[in-house]
C-alpha cells in the first residue's frame, strides 16, 4: 500500500480559524493511543511507502505514548515518514525519539512571522518558540523539514507576508506550504466575520500575496509543484502526492479517511466515540463506493492541482480511455478561456487557471 495517515486529534487549544478534527481532551490520550494501535495492528499491510502523522498536534502526546505509537509505525519501513511537530509542544526528548524511530520528515506550522498575527490566529506559540523548536529539529539532523505558512490572515498586509516569506527562506527549509486562509463555517473566525469583527484581506491583496510567494520561492530554489506547495528538487511530499495522484491510502484514528479497493470510507470523528468503537473492533462510520465516473472526476480535480498536471498516458492506462474521449468539449472551452494548457502529453492549469481552479475543476465533474 502506498500511504498511511495517522490522526492525532489533540491540541493545547484550537486555533480560531481551524475546522480540522481536533480537541483538548488530553486526558483521553492513553486510551486513544491504545485504540489507535489496535487499529494499526488490524491493517492487512506490512509496508507503506509513506506515513504521515498529523493532527491536531501529534507532538502533544507524552513521551510514553509517542514511543508506543512510533514502535508500531516503524515496522512499516516507510521511505518517507512525516511527523507534524508544532512549536510550543516540542522538546529535545521528543525530537530525539522521532529520530530514533525512523521519522525522516518534520512538518511544522509557523503560519506567520509576526507575533501580532499569530495572536490574531489564536496560535499557542510566538516566533521565538518556533525558532527554538526549528533549531532543536535541525540539531537532531533532520534534513527534510516543511514549514506551513498562511496568507490572507485578517489584518495581514502584503508587507507582512513578504516579511514572512523572506525570513522563512533565510532559515532554508526544504519544503514550504502556503495556504490562503479560508474562513470555514463553524469556526470562531466565521462567527467573527458574520458579526463584522474580522478585517478580511481583500481579494487583490490576497492574490498579490500568492503571486509573491510563487515568484519568490521559485527563484530561490523552492519550486512550486502543487497549487500551494513548494520544495527543493527531490523533496516533494510523496505522501500528499498519493492524494493528488488519486492513489489508494489508509487513514487510522478518529475521523481519518481511507481510499481502498474502490471505496472511500472514514472513521467516527469524535475522540471518545472512536475509542469506544475501536474497543468493539472497528470505527468505520461510512463507506462510499467510488464509481468509475467518480474516480475519473477525482483523478482530474486532484491531478490538476499538481503543476505538472495530469499525464495523458497515465490517464489512458488507468481508465482505458483517452482523456479527450470524455472531456473533449470541456478541454477546448477551458483552453480557449486560457485556463488550461493542453499539450501532447499533459493537461495543466495556467497561472489564471490556478487562480480560478474551482471553475476548471467543475468542468471535470461527471454525473
The contact pattern for other proteins, residues 164-193, with x = CB under 8 A and - = no contact, is -------------x-xx-x-x---------
| Closest residue by Cα to residue 140 from 108, 93, 178, 183 | 93
Distances (CA, A) of 349 to 205, 306, 338, 361: 22, 9, 9, 10
Could you say whether residue 227 binds other proteins (CB under 8 A)? Answer: yes
Could you say whether residue 224 binds other proteins (CB under 8 A)? Answer: no
Residue 241 C-alpha cell reads as: 502526492
CA distance 53 to 105: 10
Identity of the residue, 232 or 356, whose beta carbon is nearer to other proteins in the bound complex: 356
The contact pattern for other proteins, residues 1-40, with x = CB under 8 A and - = no contact, is ----x-x------------xx-------------------
CA distance 261 to 18: 31
Residue 298 Cβ vs other proteins, minimum distance, rounded to whole Å: 6
CA distance 46 to 1: 8
The contact pattern for other proteins, residues 288-327, with x = CB under 8 A and - = no contact, is x-----x--xx--xx-------------------------
Residue 282 Cβ vs other proteins, minimum distance, rounded to whole Å: 18
DSSP-based three-state secondary structure for 344: coil
Identity of the residue, 27 or 185, whose beta carbon is nearer to other proteins in the bound complex: 185
Q: Is the distance from CB of 11 to CB of 122 less than 8 angstroms? A: no
Phi, psi angle pair for 320, to nearest 5°: 55, 35
CA distance 180 to 210: 8
Identity of the residue, 236 or 298, whose beta carbon is nearer to other proteins in the bound complex: 298
The contact pattern for other proteins, residues 334-363, with x = CB under 8 A and - = no contact, is ---x----------------xxxxxx-xx-
Instruction: Classify residue 330 by burial, with Cβ atoms within 10 Å: 0-12, 13-18, 19+.
Output: middle
The contact pattern for other proteins, residues 232-271, with x = CB under 8 A and - = no contact, is -----------x--x--x-x---xxxxx----x-x-----
In the set 63, 194, 321, 365, which binds other proteins (CB under 8 A)? 365
The contact pattern for other proteins, residues 52-71, with x = CB under 8 A and - = no contact, is --x-----------------
Identity of the residue, 95 or 266, whose beta carbon is nearer to other proteins in the bound complex: 266
Per DSSP, helices labelled H in 5-126 are 29-41, 63-74, 92-100, 115-121
Query: Both ends of the chain: CA-CA distance in Å?
Result: 29
Residue 293 C-alpha cell reads as: 465516473
Residues binding other proteins: number (CB under 8 A): 43
Note the residues at the interface with other proteins (CB under 8 A).
Answer: 5, 7, 20-21, 54, 177, 179-180, 182, 184, 203-204, 206-207, 227-228, 243, 246, 249, 251, 255-259, 264, 266, 288, 294, 297-298, 301-302, 337, 354-359, 361-362, 365
Amino acid at each position: 500500500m502506498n500511504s498511511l495517515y495517522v490522526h492525532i486529534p489533540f491540541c493545547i487549544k484550537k486555533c480560531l480559524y481551524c475546522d480540522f478534527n481536533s480537541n483538548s481532551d488530553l486526558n483521553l490520550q492513553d486510551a486513544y493511543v491504545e485504540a489507535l494501535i489496535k487499529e494499526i495492528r488490524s491493517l492487512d499491510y506490512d509496508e507503506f511507502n509513506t506515513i504521515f502523522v498529523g493532527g491536531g498536534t501529534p507532538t502533544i502526546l507524552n513521551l510514553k505514548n509517542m514511543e508506543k505509537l512510533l514502535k508500531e509505525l516503524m515496522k512499516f519501513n516507510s521511505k518517507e515518514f512525516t511527523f507534524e511537530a508544532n512549536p510550543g509542544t516540542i522538546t529535545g526528548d521528543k525530537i530525539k525519539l522521532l529520530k530514533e524511530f525512523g521519522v525522516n520528515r518534520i512538518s511544522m506550522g509557523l503560519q506567520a512571522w509576526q507575533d501580532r498575527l499569530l495572536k490574531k490566529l489564536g496560535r499557542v506559540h510566538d516566533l521565538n518558540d518556533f525558532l527554538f523548536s526549528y533549531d532543536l529539529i535541525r540539531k537532531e539532523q533532520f534534513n527534510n523539514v516543511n514549514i506551513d505558512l498562511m496568507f490572507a490572515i485578517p489584518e495581514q498586509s502584503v508587507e507582512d507576508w513578504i516579511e514572512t516569506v523572506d525570513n522563512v527562506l533565510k532559515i532554508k527549509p526544504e519544503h514550504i506550504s502556503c495556504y490562503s486562509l479560508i474562513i470555514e463555517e463553524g469556526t470562531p473566525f466565521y462567527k467573527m466575520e458574520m458579526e463584522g469583527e474580522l478585517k478580511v484581506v481583500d481579494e487583490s491583496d490576497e492574490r498579490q500575496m500568492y503571486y509573491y510567494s510563487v515568484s519568490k520561492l521559485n527563484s530561490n530554489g523552492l519550486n512550486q509543484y502543487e497549487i500551494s506547495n513548494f520544495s527543493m528538487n527531490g523533496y516533494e511530499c510523496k505522501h500528499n502526492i498519493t492524494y493528488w495522484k488519486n492513489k489508494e491510502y489508509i487513514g487510522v484514528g478518529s475521523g481519518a479517511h481511507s481510499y481502498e479497493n474502490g471505496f472511500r470510507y472514514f472513521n467516527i470523528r469524535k475522540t471518545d466515540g472512536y475509542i469506544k468503537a475501536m474497543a468493539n473492533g472497528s470505527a468505520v462510520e461510512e463507506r462510499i463506493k467510488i464509481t468509475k465516473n467518480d474516480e475519473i472526476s477525482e483523478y482530474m480535480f486532484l491531478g490538476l492541482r499538481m503543476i505538472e498536471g495530469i499525464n495523458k498516458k497515465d490517464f489512458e492506462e488507468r481508465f482505458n480511455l483517452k482523456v479527450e474521449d470524455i472531456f473533449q468539449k470541456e478541454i477546448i472551452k477551458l483552453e480557449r478561456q486560457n485556463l488550461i494548457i493542453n499539450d501532447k502529453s499533459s493537461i495543466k492549469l495556467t497561472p489564471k487557471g490556478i487562480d480560478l481552479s474551482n471553475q476548471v475543476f467543475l468542468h471535470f465533474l461527471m454525473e
